[in-house]
Amino acid sequence: GSAMALPWLVAVELLLYGGCFICGIIAASSVTVTQGEFSGQCVLWGSVRWANPVVPLCCRGSSRASVCCAVLCCALLIQLCCIVLCCAGLIQLCRCVAGESLWMTVSLAVCAVFLFFLLVTGCILRIGRDRLCQSALKDSGIHSCQEAEGKNWASPYTGQHFYSNLHTAETSVWVNFFLWVLVFALLVIQKKRGSEFSPLSAGDPEWSTSEADPIFPRPS
């Protein structure tokens, strides 16, 4: 029946949380590695200047560390929340019961907040990466950021993978966004099914007095 479908929905939800957790790890590690290639600087919205045809240099400084910190904090927060939601989902799955209405409402609110954070983070990575690429291509004679990765970088910078890492981080964020959309949809379905199969109380209009009265006669 429909009530038996709830454990399967929870199982799918747990798989989605696992995917979100992995995407968070990939995004955070990719941004961290990129910072390491540029001596800990956040190069989103940064710029690269070519001192000569073969040696590019980071110039005009980098963007504020808070930009990369926001990306990392978002990924970390989602990972921690995935662990909490997975534990709650496992308890729910083992007990084969529908989630409490209040808990489902809180989960939906958290999911909506994460969708907003991921949308902002994805835009930060996309725009920041494009700004960096535009500066790398300007007056350089090259036609793509992938080609810039293969050039020699002035010490202490080693940007051989700056574009690939930032592209991987952005892709992970958008995949994470899509997974949370699926999580949101599953939570809505579970909340709806849970309300359909909640037990009736004596005050509900669906309570049949014709069946209850012979056993528990109402006082006049």
* pLDDT 10s digits, 81-119: 999 888 887 877 776 555 566 777 888 898 999 999 999
Structure-model confidence comparison of residues 70 and 205, the more confident one: 70
What pLDDT shows up at residue 51?
A: 64
**Residue 125's pLDDT band (boundaries 50, 70, 90)?**
very high
**Scanning the structure block, which residue is given the tokens 């007095």?**
209
Query: Stretch 43-56: mean pLDDT, rounded?
Result: 71
| Beta-bridge partner residues of 63 | 42
Q: Return the bridge partners of 49, or none.
A: 57
- Tell me the average pLDDT across 25-29: 94
Please tell me the least confidently modeled range out of 22-31, 55-64, 72-81, 153-162: 55-64
Residue 137 pLDDT level (bands cut at 50, 70, 90) = confident
pLDDT confidence of residue 191 = 78
* Secondary structure string (H, E, C) spanning the chain: CCCCHHHHHHHHHHHHHHHHHHHHHHHHHHHHHHHHHCCCCECCCCCEEEEECCEEEECCCCECHHHHHHHHHHHHHHHHHHHHHHHHHHHHHHHCCCCCHHHHHHHHHHHHHHHHHHHHHHHHHHHHHHHHHHHHHCCCCCCCHHHHHCCCCCCCCCCCCHHHHHHHHHHHHHHHHHHHHHHHHHHHHHHHHHHHCCCCCCCCCCCCHHHHCCCCCCCC
Residue of higher predicted confidence among 175 and 201: 175
pLDDT value at residue 197:
45
pLDDT value at 209 more than 90: no
The Cα diameter of the chain in Å comes to 100
Looking at per-residue pLDDT, the higher value among 55 and 114 belongs to: 114
Per-residue model confidence (pLDDT) at position 207:
43
CA distance 99 to 198: 11
pLDDT bin (cut points 50, 70, 90) of residue 39 is confident
CA distance 192 to 130: 42
Per the prediction, the chain carries an average pLDDT of: 78
CA distance 54 to 216: 92
Ranges of each domain in the chain? 15-195
Residue 91 pLDDT: 78
Q: What is the pLDDT of residue 97?
A: 54
* pLDDT(169) > 90: yes
Question: Which pLDDT score, from 0 to 100, does residue 106 have?
Answer: 85
Identify the weakest region by mean pLDDT among 49-63, 78-92, 133-147.
49-63
